[in-house]
Amino acid sequence: MVIKRKWIFDGEAPWSDASRVLLKLDTGSWRTERPVLDREKCNYCGLCALYCPPQCMRDKGDHYEPDLGFCKGCGVCAKECPRAALKMVPEGEFLNG
């Protein structure tokens, strides 16, 4: 059997394959805080990416970084990180660069 229809959801796709095609909502505009990584603490375990609800943690080869276009600032990644390598920082601290 050949599946001809490709399922593309109009809304945000929870537990997607992290394909940017499936990340439709501009959840980055909701954010009041953003996760900031301490690279020294990160051991590249990937738990932050696993638990991120919109699946917007990007694999950078030796660490993960949030795609701020879609990160909604929920803080789940920081909560789940076993090494406390992610810290939620208020957006106001980034207003002037």
**Under a CB-based contact definition with an 8 Å cutoff, are residues 23 and 54 in contact?**
yes
From 1, 35, 36, 60, residue interacting with ligand SF4 (rule: CB under 6 A): 35
- The stretch near ligand SF4 (CB under 6 A) out of 8-16, 17-25, 71-79, 89-97 is 71-79
Question: Binding of ligand SF4 at residue 23 (CB under 6 A)?
Answer: no
- The stretch near ligand SF4 (CB under 6 A) out of 1-9, 14-22, 78-86, 89-97 is 78-86
Question: Residue type for 50, please?
Answer: L
**Under a CB-based contact definition with an 8 Å cutoff, are residues 9 and 22 in contact?**
yes
Which long-range contacts (C-beta less than 8 Å, at least 24 apart) are formed by 2-9? none
Q: CB nearer to ligand SF4: give 9 or 44.
A: 44
Question: Residue type for 87, please?
Answer: K
Question: Binding of ligand SF4 at residue 13 (CB under 6 A)?
Answer: no
Question: Residue type for 75, please?
Answer: G
Question: Binding of ligand SF4 at residue 65 (CB under 6 A)?
Answer: no
Which of 36, 89, 84, 90 has its CA nearest to residue 64?
36
Residues in contact with ligand SF4 by CB under 6 A are 35, 37, 42-48, 52-54, 56-57, 64, 66, 71-77, 81, 83, 85-86
